[in-house]
Structure 1
Amino acid sequence: MSQETQYYTCKYCFESFIPKRRRVQKYCSNTCRNKAHHARKTATTTKETLPTQIENKPAISNPTKESINASGVANAAIGTFTVNTLSNLFTKEENKPATKKDLVEILKALKGRYHIIKNGEPLGDGRKPYYDIVKQELVYLWPFQTTTN
C-alpha cells in the first residue's frame, strides 16, 4: 500500500495535510468534517431557502366565511350514527367498554364491596381486615359493617 506524499488543503480550516485514507479527503480531521457539516446545515435554514410555495399561491380575492347550516349538521349526525352503528356491529362483546351497570352487576356477583382477608391479623379492638373493591384499599371493619353495603 503506497502512502500519499501529496499535500491536500482542508476545505474547512484551509490547513495543509497529508491524507490518511485511500481516497481523496476534503477535511484534515473529523472535527473539521463535523464543523463543516454543521455550517452547511445552519446555512440551509436561512431565509433564502425557506419554502416559497406560500408566495406562489394565488391571492383569494373574496374570502368567504363558513357558516353552520342544517345540511352540514345533518351530514355530521348521519356520519356519526353510521360509524357508531358499524363499530357496534363489528366489535365483539368482550371487547366493548364496561358500563356503570356492568360494574354494579360485578359487585353483586362478588357478593358485596368488602372481602375479608383470611390471613390478615385483626386489630386489638377486634376489627378485621377487609379489601374494599371500590376504593381498592385495605380497611378494618367490624364484621357486622360489611352486611350494609
Structure 2
Amino acid sequence: MKRREICSYCGGDFTPTRRGAQKFCSNSCRSRNWQSKQRDKNKNQALTKLNNEGLQIPKTTTGEKMSLAGVGNAATGVAVVELAKTILTSAENKPATKRDIQELKTLIKSQYLPIKNLGKDATGRTPYYDVLTGNLVYLFSPVVHGKR
C-alpha cells in the first residue's frame, strides 16, 4: 500500500514520488509556498515597532560596517586620483586660486587706471587707461559688493 502525504501548501493529499523528501503535491505548490514565504519576510522587515508614546519608529537596519582597511583604501584611491589630476592637468587648465585672483587684482590696479569721466561701452565694459602702453582699453570692472 502506498503512503499518502498532505501537501504543506494547499493541504491536499498526494502520493510522494521521492522517498519522503517531498513536501508538496506539485511544483506549483512548492513555488507558491516559497513566494508566500518571501512576501511574509518582506512584510516583517517593513513592519515598525511602537515606542512608548505610540509613534511609529522604523526598524534599524544593519548595513555594511566601516572598517579601517576600507577607509584606508578609499583615502588611497582619492590620493591617487588627485595626484594624477595634478600631474596630467596643464597649468593653463588648472582652476584659479585665491592667490591667483589677488595677483590679478593687483595687476589691474597697478597697470590700469579707471577713467571716471567716460561712460561704459555698448557691452557694459568700463574704460581704463593702460599705464604701460598709454592706450584706452575697455575691461569688465570687478564686482564690488554686488555692484559693477
| Range class of TM-score, shorter chain | 0.3 to 0.5
TM-score (norm: length of structure 1): 0.39
TM-score (norm: length of structure 2): 0.39
